Chain A
Amino acid sequence: MAEVLVYVDHVDGAVRKPTLELLTLARRIGEPVAVALGAGAEATAAVLAEHGAVKVLTADAPEFSDYLVVPKVDALQAAYDAVSPAAVLVPSSAEGKEIAARLAVRIGSGIITDATDLEAGDEGPVATQAAFAASFSVKSRVSKGTPVITVKPNSAPVEAAPAAGAVEALAVTFGALATGTKVTSRTPRESTGRPELTEAAIVVSGGRGVNGAENFHIIEALADSLGAAVGASRAAVDAGWYPHSNQVGQTGKSVSPQLYIASGISGAIQHRAGMQTSKTIVAINKDAEAPIFDLVDYGVVGDLFAVVPQLTDEIKARKG
């Protein structure tokens, strides 16, 4: 059976959920061979094996953290040369997309980004993408070279499928471009303890209607009652009420949770671009004409300062 390279997104050995979803998709088109790079790479093997990786290729070197993107491309290319896979799958993070894109140039292949589904086809894997702020569903293929496809979080279920997961060291030679862009300092983002926005099953977002940084605790309290991640519109972020890393939309994060709750958000096309694929959408807005109501499964026309705390209290009461 053909092998499929899966690029592993992990933090010091802790594999992030989108990679496990990739393993589910990879098994539809072949046998997953995982590539884990950087500190803790070997520690990823157990969980990758549990989810179907027949092999885990690992490499660590200071280059991976000291320079931007290219050293990881060199490593993924080494894995590609070692395996000759039928496809290469990479999680659709900003960095993942760049790594995939540069690999595609090097191996003379086409690339598809932000796939939301993947299936085997007669002429290679067929990817589904959401286009034009998710108003279209597009099916496409890579027609030249080995398909390189990046996949959005929450695109497939995580499934157990025990496999060998044999760890093999990957020999990487860094090219001249590897040290082109130096990372001179790095400030890690402080963890809030809440789920990762792009991976969360429930996202609770606030917009301009929240009317001040000091009011975002209302949104956070609702999120915490549901174990949800907190999102924000660009208007709220631009006003400095919430960090940019929480922005949902075209230039922020793209989310596809089971449930999306928008409070005080009008539903501009650029915001919709980042949340329209959510399964269930709920909105609270005092303007009955707000475009967000065109998307909702359930909407409340009302003042969020009354509705959101009542909702939070009711959820807590129901959960006991």
Chain B
Amino acid sequence: MSLRIVVCVKYVPDATGDRQFTEDLTVNRDDVDGLLSELDEYAVEQALQIADEADDAEITVLTVGPEDAKDALRKALSMGADKAIHVEDDDLHGSDVMATSLVLAKAIEKAGYDLVITGMASTDGTMGVLPAILAERLGVPQVTLLSEVKVEDGVVTGRRDGDSASEQLEASLPALVSVTDQSGEARYPSFKGIMAAKKKPVESWDLEELEIESDEVGLEGSWTAVDSATQRPARTAGTIVKDEGEGGKSLAAFLAEQKFI
């Protein structure tokens, strides 16, 4: 029996660029290069490894995002995913996590799945809650924040390293998994992979196709509203001293002056 894996990947502005908000207080996507959220590479990697172990598996990568978000899909395809779905609609602009998750859930249901895999968090919104929300919306077990994951005989198992304990988890498919950056380095696309990706199918879906009303998503339809975004003032230049034998002592004097000692 074939194992249908859907991997959710987000297209985000490069974190090393000068990220800004636009006038409508959404993320400025024009002035900083976009890419596949680095933490979603780990999700693609685990999907590939799970598919390798399965008799017969198919990996679909899914994104909700603007036109450029195809780049994220191409990257995932060149790593080895089989096909891609791009949910793209002008009315999606400014969607918050509830709106985004609604669209993802509908798309996942339409695509058909046994296993959904996501990253632990995006590198722009960094909420880290979308996986749990998706599991709730889909009505399947959440097996989240795994640093190790395995799928065998319709059962997913994994290790979750939490604040106070490390837990071993188990759930039956269909299920939703999110993986951390401790799950194993993601592979680089090979030249062959990059060439092959060009021929792989990328479907485009809009809101109508998913039977979602435009007032359920986007800036207006979202469940949250941003009132302001202000750049934090640059930190005032601190004192920097060169150690010439007394560096530790001068630092101690600073800490004492600041009442930390």
Most buried by A among B15, B222, B247: B247
Return chain B residues, CB-CB under 8 Å to A185: 167-168
The answer to whether A113 and B129 have CB atoms under 8 Å apart is yes
The answer to whether B252 and A311 have CB atoms under 8 Å apart is yes
Partner of A186, one of B141, B166, B180, B225: B166
The answer to whether B238 and A297 have CB atoms under 8 Å apart is yes
The answer to whether B255 and A315 have CB atoms under 8 Å apart is yes
What is the CB-to-nearest-CB distance from A317 to chain B, in angstroms, rounded to a whole number?
A: 8
A195 within 8 A of B: no
The answer to whether B247 and A300 have CB atoms under 8 Å apart is yes
A68 within 8 A of B: yes
User: Do A251 and B19 contact each other (CB < 8 Å), given the known contacts A137-B229, A202-B260, A298-B238?
Assistant: no
Return chain B residues, CB-CB under 8 Å to A126: 227
A114–B97 Cα distance when bound, in Å, is 14
Return chain B residues, CB-CB under 8 Å to A142: 223-225
- Residues of chain B in range 117-144 having any CB-CB distance to chain A below 8 Å: 120-121, 123-124, 126-133, 135-137, 139-144
- Which residues on A are within 8 Å of B, measured CB to CB? 11, 68-70, 73, 93-95, 97-98, 100-102, 104-106, 109-114, 126, 130-145, 177, 180-189, 198, 202, 226, 244-245, 250-251, 258-259, 269-270, 273, 280-282, 284, 288, 293-303, 306-315, 318-319
* Main SS class of interface, B: mixed
- Which residues on B are within 8 Å of A, measured CB to CB? 15-16, 19, 21, 25, 39, 96-98, 101, 120-121, 123-124, 126-133, 135-137, 139-145, 147, 157, 160-171, 175, 180-182, 222-232, 235, 238-243, 245-252, 254-256, 258, 260-261
What is the CB-to-nearest-CB distance from A3 to chain B, in angstroms, rounded to a whole number?
A: 21
Return chain B residues, CB-CB under 8 Å to A189: 163-166
| A–B Cβ pairs within 8 angstroms, 15 of them | A97-B127, A101-B132, A102-B136, A111-B223, A130-B232, A136-B229, A139-B226, A142-B224, A144-B224, A181-B171, A244-B147, A297-B238, A300-B250, A306-B248, A318-B252
Number of A-B contacts (CB under 8 A): 266
User: Do A94 and B163 contact each other (CB < 8 Å), given the known contacts A143-B225, A298-B239?
Assistant: yes
Return chain B residues, CB-CB under 8 Å to A98: 129, 131-132, 142, 144
What is the CB-to-nearest-CB distance from B17 to chain A, in angstroms, rounded to a whole number?
A: 9
The answer to whether B249 and A314 have CB atoms under 8 Å apart is yes
Return chain A residues, CB-CB under 8 Å to B163: 93-95, 189, 198, 245
